Amino acid sequence: MLSIESVNHVGIRIKDKARSVAFYKILGFQFTTDVGFEKGHPIILKHPSGVVLNLLGPSNTPEGENILMDVPEKYAGITHVALTVRSLQDARDLMEKQQHRTHRFIQFWRYVSHFYTRSGQECD
């Protein structure tokens, strides 16, 4: 067995650089560097908790389409990342305060919630 200590980072391909960076900043992520977003290299964001995101871009698909979630064919790949927060209510309140009213939470199990746009698409 390999002794894994933690997840190093999560890579997410995005379409809108400014919108995505602004969204993750609301969640507390801090901009570290942009190593060439327009050429497909990551923008690196780090959260004080240690979670690191690599926002890769730019996506060249039509707006709103996610090949892993929004087409009849089911391709292999990561469909989502789940973050543990101290309080789901605090997360809801933060989204409301920041006027991200296009999102809704769906709670399942005891402590977990998915975060979706009102159209049913998971947030980037």
Cα separation, 21 vs 33, in Å, equals 11
pLDDT at 120: 42
How far, in whole angstroms, is CA 103 from its chain's centroid? 13
pLDDT at 55: 93
pLDDT at 45: 96
β-pair partners for 56: 13
> Which regions of the chain carry the CATH code 3.30.720?
1-60
pLDDT in tens, the chain (124 residues): 888 888 899 998 888 899 899 989 988 999 999 999 999 899 999 999 999 999 998 888 777 677 777 778 887 777 777 777 788 788 778 877 876 554 555 555 555 555 554 444 444 4
pLDDT at 100: 57
CATH architecture of 1-60: 2-Layer Sandwich (3.30)
3-state helix, strand, coil in the chain (%, to 5): 20, 25, 55
pLDDT at 34: 96
